[in-house]
Amino acid sequence: MDDPIAALIERTATQDRAAFRELYSASSAKLMGVLLRILGQRAEAEDALQEVYTRVWLKAGRFDATKGRGMTWLIALSRNLAIDRLRQRSDSTTDDAEAMEAVPDATPRAETRMIAQGQAKQINDCFATLEPDRAEALRGAYLTGLSYNDLAAKFDVPLNTMRTWLRRSLLRLKECMGA
């Protein structure tokens, strides 16, 4: 079974810094997506991602490729850390009415909601310019969190073809959005 992430984790366990850098490059975007989905706050997700990779560096020797794939292990580490952070968050909250009054109203103003709706429409319109399978693959990778391998299998294309699809689709979206 070919699992390049597992190989990188095993090399990281031997304190191989180059492997650790490759592991970060290969997995950080997906793990950031997992953390962001669970924590809901970008700054906290970024902090958590840094902590995940610190744990990976320290605990890579505990990874057992016979029990699962490398990315699965990384996602489990990330998920567990995010859940721990959510628990800490809820433990630190109080029912004190005074504390609740001190929290600013985060409800978006009408102007902000209108801008967001316009951006959502623009994103949807840009997605509509993509071929349907490319758009579905892009949503799968970046909104659902499917791995490149999973997507390649789902669409019955080679892994490098899937990577090309995603890269080109992102570039087309960026161009369409005027970024």
Provide the pLDDT for residue 176.
Answer: 86
Provide the pLDDT for residue 2.
Answer: 84
Is residue 94 within 8 A of residue 50, CB to CB? The reply is no
pLDDT per residue as tens digits for the range 21-53? 999 999 999 999 999 999 999 999 999 999 999
Residue carrying structure tokens 């009054």 = 101
Is residue 2 within 8 A of residue 71, CB to CB? The reply is no
Residue 60 DSSP symbol: G
Q: How many CA atoms does the CB half-sphere of 69 hold within 13 Å?
A: 12
Tell me what the pLDDT averaged over the chain comes to. 84
Provide the pLDDT for residue 23.
Answer: 94
Q: What's the rounded Cα separation, in Å, for the pair 162 and 7?
A: 21
Amino acid present at 113: R
- State whether the Cα torsion 155-161-165-170 is positive or negative: positive
Mean pLDDT calculated for residue range 63-92: 88
Domains parsed from the chain with CATH numbers: 4-92 (1.10.1740.10), 112-177 (1.10.10.10)
Torsion angle, alpha carbons of 40, 41, 42, 43, to 10: -150
Q: For residue 136, give both structure tokens.
A: 């579905």
Per-residue pLDDT band for 109 (boundaries 50, 70, 90) equals low
Provide the pLDDT for residue 126.
Answer: 86
Per-residue pLDDT band for 1 (boundaries 50, 70, 90) equals low
Q: For residue 13, give both structure tokens.
A: 């366990």
